[in-house]
């Protein structure tokens, strides 16, 4: 699983899962463009990886267009796009305001649409791989996650349709659906719980494998789908959750 002489653009790459993906792709030989709203984090990682840092908001068309154009101009091509950037807002349809609903889908769905829209013309005819980071929330739901679940389920449908639309152009499109992954975001969530250790034990109990995932686990799945090892795989959703969803959680 190598990406030698390939150029990859990873959104939401300054921390957590996105950072793990960018680091893994660089290890595999890719030149990586790091896109994130946190410009300082993006620039710091890009320096480590000798890549390209781009600051912006995935939900803004101009930022998506600029990110793709800058990647092609400065790194010479665009072979792999990983749509990782996402947010998670909680609430029922009664609790969420229309602005919150729009923001949730704006980042998690519109952002993917925008980056794909601008990336596909640069991949058409020369091949390319798009990996969308969805979630186990696309298949199993938790109460109070209506907007997040809708966005992640929608992303699975989008992935399948794009695989049909662009397969004849040499572009493969797949999704990775993570479960619980230990990231700074999860650590902040744990810190907000009344009993951090009890919450962690409960979460671990969801996983037949006895542990939660790491960014590296997701990065390895993305590398597989982006590489030639997956040259005949498109339109699929790879669940990476330590059998959590199989156990009914």
CA-wise closest residue to 25 among 225, 231, 219: 219
E strand intervals along the chain: 7-11, 31-36, 52-55, 80-83, 128-133, 171-178, 237-240
Domains of the chain, each with CATH number or no CATH: 7-180+215-240 (3.40.50.720)
Phi, psi angle pair for 52, to nearest 5°: -120, 130
Task: Say whether 148 is catalytic.
Answer: yes
- pLDDT, tens digit, 9 for 90 and up, residues 148-174: 999 999 999 999 999 999 999 999 999
DSSP label at residue 82: E
Q: How far is residue 127's CA from residue 79's CA, in Å, rounded to a whole number?
A: 7
- pLDDT above 90 for 178: yes
- pLDDT, tens digit, 9 for 90 and up, residues 98-123: 999 999 999 999 999 999 999 999 99
Q: How far is residue 159's CA from residue 87's CA, in Å, rounded to a whole number?
A: 19
Q: Cα 188 from chain centroid?
A: 20
pTM of the predicted model, to two decimals? 0.96
Q: Which two tokens stand for residue 222?
A: 């993305």
pLDDT mean across residues, the chain:
96
- pLDDT above 90 for 222: yes
- pLDDT, tens digit, 9 for 90 and up, residues 35-46: 999 999 999 999
Of 148, 180, 182, 206, which is the active-site residue? Answer: 148
- pLDDT above 90 for 189: no
Residue 185: per-residue pLDDT:
83
């Amino acid at each position: 699983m190598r990406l030698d002489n390939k150029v990859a653009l990873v959104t939401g790459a300054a921390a957590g899962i996105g950072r793990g993906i960018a680091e893994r792709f660089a290890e595999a030989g890719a030149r990586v463009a790091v896109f994130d709203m946190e410009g300082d984090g993006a620039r710091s990682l890009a320096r480590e990886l000798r890549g390209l840092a781009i600051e912006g908001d995935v939900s803004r068309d101009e930022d998506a267009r600029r990110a793709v154009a800058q990647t092609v101009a400065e790194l010479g091509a665009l072979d792999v796009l990983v749509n990782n950037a996402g947010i998670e807002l909680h609430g029922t349809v009664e609790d969420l305001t229309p602005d919150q609903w729009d923001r949730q889908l704006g980042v998690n769905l519109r952002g993917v649409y925008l980056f794909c829209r601008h990336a596909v013309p640069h991949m058409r005819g020369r091949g390319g791989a798009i990996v969308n980071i969805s979630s186990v929330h696309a298949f199993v739901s938790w109460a109070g996650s209506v907007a997040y679940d809708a966005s992640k389920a929608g992303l699975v449908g989008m992935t399948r349709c794009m695989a049909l639309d662009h397969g004849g152009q040499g572009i493969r499109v797949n999704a990775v659906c993570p479960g619980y992954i230990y990231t700074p975001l999860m650590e902040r969530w744990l810190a907000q719980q009344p009993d951090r250790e009890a919450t962690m034990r409960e979460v671990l109990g969801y996983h037949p494998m006895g542990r939660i995932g790491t960014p590296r686990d997701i990065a390895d799945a993305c590398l597989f789908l982006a590489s030639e090892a997956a040259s005949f795989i498109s339109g699929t959703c790879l669940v990476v959750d330590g059998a959590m969803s199989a156990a009914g959680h």
